[in-house]
Amino acid sequence: MKKSILISITFLLCICSALSGCQDTNSVKTQERPQNVYLDSTIVEFANVSYEANRNKAGDIESVTVGWLFHNIAGKMINVKIDVQFYNKNDILLYNQTKTLNNMPADYTEQSYQLANKVSYEGPGAAFVDHVVIKVTEV
């Protein structure tokens, strides 16, 4: 009798430990931030960011496109200036484009990439882009 109870308990523990390793495969997976895109801001954080080097048929880089989705962490409605700066390996500024975002509500998170939150740098200098800094300041 004691033997059958001990076997039952052991069997039950084996089943519990086998089931404890199950994972939900339907959960949302977040995209990792590219290592060469940096955010300089105290009022927003990245919700998501993309970096794409577009190549021609010969394999040369023709353009670099950066996209971002922000989350407002300022705790209030904000109007911001966004400077997207493309640098080479020596930290020399190759290209800068400025955009604005008005009336972003507190704790708001952008949901989709639009033309307003993408910048492309095209031309022969695009091949030298090493990293991108996105500076966001309140206006």
Phi and psi, residue 7, nearest 5°: -65, -40
Q: Rounded to whole angstroms, how far apart are CA atoms 104 and 76?
A: 8
Chain-centroid distance of CA 82 in Å reads 16
User: Does the structure show a pLDDT above 70 at 79?
Assistant: yes
Q: For 81-120, how does the pLDDT look when each residue is reduced to its tens digit (9 = 90+)?
A: 999 999 999 999 999 999 999 999 999 999 999 999 999 9
The predicted model gives 46-65 an average pLDDT of: 94
Q: For 1-55, how does the pLDDT look when each residue is reduced to its tens digit (9 = 90+)?
A: 666 665 656 655 555 455 454 443 332 334 456 789 999 999 999 999 999 999 9
Phi and psi, residue 115, nearest 5°: -60, -30
Q: What does the block give as tokens for 62? A: 């023709």
| Domains of the chain and any CATH numbers | 33-138 (2.60.40)
Q: For the whole model, what pTM was predicted?
A: 0.75
